[in-house]
Amino acid sequence: MIKSMLNVSPLNSIYGNDIPTDLQEALKNLEEHLQKQKKYVKEVTILPNCSIDYDRTIHLQKTLSKDIKCVLQGVLVTLGPEYRLGYEDAMWFHPEMAKGRSVYELKSKITKEDLNKVKEIHHTNGKYEKNDPVMMSPFHCDIGHYTSTVVDEMGLSSTNNRLIVNVSLEALTYPLWRQYLMTGELVGKVYENWTSMDMGNGKSIMDTSAHVRNEIASKIMGQTMHDTMNLQVYRDQVNALYSDGTDVYFANHAIKTPKEVDNVKILLHNSALSGYEMYSTKTEDLFVPSNIGLSSKTFNWDDMNESQRQRIFEDCIWEGNEGFNTYVLKPPALLATKKKSFEQKYNLFNGDKLRMKCAKFSSQPVRDFIDISRLLKLTPLSAPSTDMRHGNNVELKMSLNYQPFAKLMEKVEQISVEHPEFQLFNKELVSNGYIKIPRSIIEKLI
């Protein structure tokens, strides 16, 4: 038997034999790809938060290259500097390069208007402004007000208010990441750029990432940069590069464990709606997962009660007119029993739950790429604003390259007979390149 080059023991320690089938297939594809340059592959560790990032996968497949089989979170890859990158390396080299989180003590209440001071800049056509870098990327970012409850030795409780800034700067970093894959850059050169490239403000990529998070916090809280930095209580780097002087370590949704402090803290992301947890840790592991993984599922509007739907629309905001958000609607990836095993593996204790009070999330622009049955379930029947897409009609992109619309065109005669009231090219149904199709007709396209 050929020995696997993937160290899956951290993943197995949580899932045992229950690793999802789609993830098993993805890991098989990962190993097959890395085998092509195996002499430069030093170590590959599959962390307990390893999961398929379906939104990034489908978006990159449609906008960059069909050669990208999937995008994973929760992988540590150590390579020799001679390893040459290609499109398939998006499996482990996550596009949200230099992503990090910062936590600040919040002195006063913040509003949705405060959060909307941070604009979403798309990575494929947006521009990074170094003189005004207050921005967030369109995937898996969140900025918001979080609270935790502390009980003292006399049983009295108090509330801590925190601002958490979890962002990537893909208007700045994505063109560089894309260039690495397109041109077949050497890993050694990528690391050299990581440490020495001036990103336009005299700072490296990682320092720029931390600086932008401070700029965001300063603008939201209305504080000077000096006061903002004094209010910072935690910061980390989620997707980063490191080196031991010989090989290059790529950390994908994993935090390098601080060794120079006595009381080590680790911020763990549970999900958009359930928030974060700040732990103390005494782990001996060099890296700790930054989240508990991405669930492949989404909450179904029909399964929610009114209070749950109301929480999403009142406490969560995102840009655009989409009536759903695939990041917000994802449940935690781990059940409580597996979460306990996760905590034990990394010696996480004294967990302080940070509950989301209100937050702005990335818009997750995958509508035009997702399966029609999923689109039907995700589109809400009602929404608090008429500007948001919702209701009995579902909007489809009018492009023959979009499979659901192409299927509609194929069945248009049959549909016209069964639904004589429906006129395909009714001007009232068409707007900005989309056509509104009744749910009853959508169901025939599934």
The residue to which tokens 């913040």 are assigned = 110
Domain boundary among 372, 401, 435: 372
Return the C-alpha torsion angle 196, 199, 204, 207, nearest 10. Answer: 180
Q: What's the CA gap between 6 and 72, in Å, rounded? A: 14
| Co-location of 227 and 197 in the same domain | yes
pLDDT tens digits, 267-311: 999 999 999 999 999 999 999 999 999 999 999 887 888 899 899
Q: What's the CA gap between 400 and 162, in Å, rounded? A: 47
| Co-location of 214 and 330 in the same domain | yes
Contact 372, 446 (CB under 8 A): yes
| Co-location of 360 and 396 in the same domain | no
Contact 278, 323 (CB under 8 A): no
| Amino acid identity for residue 76 in this structure | L
| Amino acid identity for residue 349 in this structure | F
Domain boundary among 307, 339, 372: 372
| Co-location of 361 and 408 in the same domain | no
| Co-location of 100 and 174 in the same domain | yes
The answer to pTM > 0.85 is yes
The verdict on residue 385 lying in a domain is: no
The residue to which tokens 């910072």 are assigned = 232
| Co-location of 85 and 234 in the same domain | yes
The verdict on residue 353 lying in a domain is: yes
Please name which of 282, 289, 287 lies closest in space to residue 256, comparing C-alpha atoms: 287
| Co-location of 212 and 147 in the same domain | yes
Q: What's the CA gap between 167 and 137, in Å, rounded? A: 7
The one-digit pLDDT tens for each residue of the chain (446 residues) are 345 899 999 999 999 888 999 999 999 999 999 999 999 999 999 999 999 999 999 999 999 999 999 999 999 999 999 999 999 999 999 999 999 999 999 999 999 999 999 999 998 888 898 889 999 999 999 999 999 988 777 777 889 999 999 999 999 999 999 999 999 999 999 999 999 998 887 899 999 999 999 999 999 999 999 999 999 999 999 999 999 999 999 999 999 998 877 789 999 999 999 999 999 999 999 999 999 999 999 998 878 888 998 999 999 999 999 999 999 999 999 887 899 999 999 999 999 999 999 999 999 999 999 988 999 999 998 887 778 898 999 999 998 888 888 888 888 888 888 888 887 778 888 888 999 999 989 888 88
pLDDT tens digits, 195-245: 999 888 789 999 999 999 999 999 999 999 999 999 999 999 999 999 999
| Co-location of 357 and 405 in the same domain | no
Domain total of the chain:
2
Domain boundary among 372, 400, 433: 372
Q: What's the CA gap between 446 and 444, in Å, rounded? A: 6
The verdict on residue 366 lying in a domain is: yes
Q: What's the CA gap between 212 and 165, in Å, rounded? A: 10
Q: What's the CA gap between 308 and 315, in Å, rounded? A: 11
Contact 15, 292 (CB under 8 A): no
The verdict on residue 377 lying in a domain is: no
| Co-location of 396 and 368 in the same domain | no
Phi, psi values for residue 344, rounded to 5°: -65, -40
Range of the domain at 434: 392-445
| Co-location of 294 and 433 in the same domain | no
The verdict on residue 357 lying in a domain is: yes
The verdict on residue 359 lying in a domain is: yes
Q: What's the CA gap between 429 and 374, in Å, rounded? A: 21
Q: What's the CA gap between 98 and 89, in Å, rounded? A: 17
Residue 344, CB-side half-sphere exposure with 13 Å CA sphere: 8
The verdict on residue 317 lying in a domain is: yes
| Co-location of 264 and 397 in the same domain | no
DSSP secondary-structure letter at 291? B
| Co-location of 183 and 221 in the same domain | yes
The verdict on residue 26 lying in a domain is: yes
Sign, CA dihedral 207-213-214-216, equals: positive
